[in-house]
Amino acid sequence: MSTRAFGSRIQRNIDPQLLRGEGSFVDDIPLANALHVAFVRSPFARARINSIDVTAACTHPGVAAVYTCDNIGDLDLELPLLIPHSSMTDARTQRPLARGDVYYVGQTVAMVVAVDRYTAEDAAALVDVDYDPLEVEIDLEKAILDGSPLVHPTHPNNIAAHLVQVSGNPDRAIAEAEHVTRVRVQVDRSTAAAMECRAVAAIFDRVTGELTVWDGTQAPLSVRGGLASILNIDEDKVRVIAPNVGGGFGQKVLLFYPDELLVPFAARHLGRPVKYIEDRRENFVGSTQERTQIHTIELYAKKTGEVLALRDSFLHDTGAFIPYGIAVAQVASTSIAGPYRIPNIWVEFKAVYTPTVPVTPYRGCGRPHACFAIERAMDQLADDLGLDRFEIRRRNLIGDDEFPKLREGLLFADGLPVSLDSGQYHKALEMLHDKLDVANFAAEQQKAREAGRHLGLGMAFYVEGTGLGPYEGGHIKIHPITGKVYVNTGLTSQGQGHDTVFAQIVSDQLGVKVEDVILVEGDTKAFDWGVATFASRAAVVSGNAIHKSALIVRNKTLTAAANMLEASADDIELRDGAAWVKGTDRQVSLAAVATATNPLRYAFNESAKAATQFAPASRHDGPALGEGQAPGLEATDYYSPPCATWAYGVHGAILEVDPEICSVKVRRYVCIHDCGNMINPMIVEGQVMGGIAQGIGGAMYERIEFDTDGNMINANFVDFLVPYATEVPQVEILHLETPSPLNPLGVKGVGEAGCIPVGAVIASGIDDALRPFGAAPFQHIPITPSMIYAAVTGG
């Protein structure tokens, strides 16, 4: 190997195709004679359905079928509770099509299938549903009060789940504390807003009995398992393909959305291809969201600033249903102590039903909320004790020699105890301090203030448990004709660059060019085992599985090549697509090795001749394949992490608040980031940058607005403000690489990292800028101009 691919800034294999518009998304799949779907959705947040009249819709020209809960057979069921947990009783999940009641605006009530989407929408408007609207309470804090309208009569006070977790001995520590800081923080609801909305298409082949589904999902294997089970077909007769997918961010993990079941069902029922392409409005009102949490967090400290104990109690909005269990709240509650030593923790949450779109993980999944709570509390503690914001952190950050840092009693989202495995937290903090030139900032701030300008410095630290199990696999095969290497895994990609980073891992082991390693994923026929893309886990879990498989193929190749070159395996090196006897020019191409390891009858090319039955090198004294031998250069292996591996980082910004306009301009944004060994720093930076852009959205722009009746009043890109490139600051990214001790590649996840601390950074910076106004700290994101107005005018 001349240069290592692992660690290099290699351009992404997939980009030329995507940039030329040659990608193939679900809507690009040519399906002759396909029918198209539109849904009738509830206009009420909570109502009883008295009747549904589909007569006019059924007779509308071009309509093939109209489905309600009454004619979908076995699909008229409560969808699965994907992640059961003892903190929930009688967890409520949605039905594909409403029966009796509706629980949020946008819930699917009927499905129209027609010759095209225009016709389907026309006919959907003809479905006559008679509703009796019921009272609702949208406000999270009011929803749990006695007497509030219930989303589900089965759940008093709308409590969907309640969990208390304790680490250490908080009661004793609290008694010993000399100071307590208490803050209430709130993060509002948002949505992933992927570029491509969700999409599902299906065909059912009556001859073979095979169902093929194209689904813009993050989890084709899981979707296949569920479809097979609900439709009662063998798994091997169901093929789920996630082609190019335009962003996921967690929203496309959930199974099942009603359409994911109903579209395959209709394809089988009608004997024609059926397609559903979700539009933007449907994505807003029908696909899952996240974020609303209200925390009351208390830090019990000594006068020195050393935090002895943390108490946090929070409400988590789970929407009308809880199909993904408590995942988001659980991640928030177990990440609450952040990067700090804090030995004693008491954390409680209540997940609350509200008559709104259900909540499932969205990039960050509870971590931005936890980070906002602990970091705002740390800033406040510093203020209370007259300490600098960097100093309070220095006094509490976990030291390099304190890893692994176990938080006994806290179970993470993988069901395993929280254990922060490695890091250089102090070094990261000092790097930020230097890079932002914090030492000189106070003078600069003072000078600006004298000139009537309000500069502020904000900062926040975060940790991220990444690389969750249970497991993933990797299959690798060197192709006999071209020598190209094919890699399969059970994941899907929504733009992350799997095809490049996995190729880099394989390239180093097999000595082939990165471009000659071809990843095929997102197809249940390509690889059969695994879970899905979520929780910043692809590089850690699939990456290591692929690495392990590559090692096996490497050894097979060395042995076979040694045999062919009549050398010892120790003297063979793999580079430039061939096996070489070290220090000589004797070599054999990997294609030839792959061919030779496959005993052949027919000589279809030159190298094949050497593998045929009468060739001199072939065995003539027994079976062509010895006992236990397999043909070719191929292997499959799996990786199952012992527990999550914890990445971290610290961000800082210098921003300017204009009190006359109430605007915020971020002047500098610095990110110090550590995700262990980096496979491709350019891709890491892309992930971090994208995360920060999303974080800027959460900090200042993106907020789903419900009116008091539960109508989403900004279900469009005019009023739901996704920041443009013009709103996202230049970001300076510096890396640290502390290898994870938990996996062979030493990698940690990076998918969600960027978005986690941004809200806390911005709030901290605005506080700092507006200190002369004596305003209360900003404890609620997103921060809007109206909120800044209230702060600067004391209003």
Partner 1 sequence: MKPPLFEYRAPRSLKDAIALLAGDSGAMVLAGGQSLIPALNMRLASPSRLVDIQHIEGLKGISVQDGRIVVKAMTRHRQLELSEAAHRANPLIREAMAHVAHVPIRNRGTVVGSLCHADAAAEMPMVLLATDGSVVAEGPRGRREIAAEDFFQFHMTTTREPDEIITEARFSVLPAGAGWAFEEFTRRHGDYAIAAVAAIVDRTSGHVSLAACGISSRPVRLRQSEEIIAKGGLVPDVLKAAGEAAKEAVTAPDDMHASTDYRRHLLAGLVRRAVEKAASRTK
Smallest separation (angstroms) from partner 1 to the CB of 724: 5
Look up residue 575 and give its amino acid: R
Dig out the tokens for 13 from the structure: 């294999």
132 or 279, CB closer to partner 1?
279
Nearest to 129 by CA among 60, 41, 63, 69: 41
707 or 732, CB closer to partner 1?
707
229 or 793, CB closer to partner 1?
793
89 or 786, CB closer to partner 1?
786
DSSP H helices, 413-516, are 425-435, 438-450, 498-510
d(CA 3, CA 787): 53
Smallest separation (angstroms) from partner 1 to the CB of 699: 12
Smallest separation (angstroms) from partner 1 to the CB of 545: 41
446 or 793, CB closer to partner 1?
793
DSSP, res 719: T
122 or 317, CB closer to partner 1?
122
446 or 786, CB closer to partner 1?
786
Burial of 641 (0-12, 13-18, 19+ CB in 10 A): buried
Smallest separation (angstroms) from partner 1 to the CB of 120: 8
Dig out the tokens for 11 from the structure: 């351009």
Look up residue 594 and give its amino acid: A
Look up residue 553 and give its amino acid: V
Residue 359: how many CA atoms within 13 Å on its side-chain side? 27
Smallest separation (angstroms) from partner 1 to the CB of 410: 37
d(CA 579, CA 10): 24
Smallest separation (angstroms) from partner 1 to the CB of 720: 9
Tokens 């998918």 belong to 751
Smallest separation (angstroms) from partner 1 to the CB of 697: 10
Distant-in-sequence, close-in-space partners of 27: CB < 8 Å, separation ≥ 6: 199, 201, 275, 277
Smallest separation (angstroms) from partner 1 to the CB of 661: 5
348 or 727, CB closer to partner 1?
727
Count how many residues are written for the chain.
Answer: 795
Sign of the C-alpha dihedral computed for residues 235, 361, 500 and 464 taken in this order: negative
Smallest separation (angstroms) from partner 1 to the CB of 63: 15
Dig out the tokens for 297 from the structure: 């967090």
116 or 235, CB closer to partner 1?
116
Smallest separation (angstroms) from partner 1 to the CB of 727: 5
The beta strand positions in 565-629, using DSSP E, are 572-575, 578-581, 587-589
Dig out the tokens for 679 from the structure: 């496979």
Nearest to 406 by CA among 469, 457, 334, 468: 334
Strand 780-781: give its sheet, edge to edge.
159-167, 344-353, 307-319, 293-301, 179-187, 780-781
Phi-psi region of 131 (alpha: psi -120 to 50; beta: other; left: phi over 0): beta
Contact, 71 vs 64, CB < 8 A? no
284 or 349, CB closer to partner 1?
284
Residue 713: Cβ within 10 Å count: 12
Residue 121: Cβ within 10 Å count: 15
What do you get for the CA distance between the two ends of the chain, in Å? 66
441 or 789, CB closer to partner 1?
789
Q: Which residues bind partner 1 (CB under 8 A)?
A: 117-118, 121-122, 279-281, 660-663, 700-701, 703, 705, 713-714, 716, 718-719, 721, 723-724, 726-727, 784-786, 789-790, 793, 795
51 or 726, CB closer to partner 1?
726
d(CA 126, CA 631): 61
Smallest separation (angstroms) from partner 1 to the CB of 705: 5
Smallest separation (angstroms) from partner 1 to the CB of 418: 38
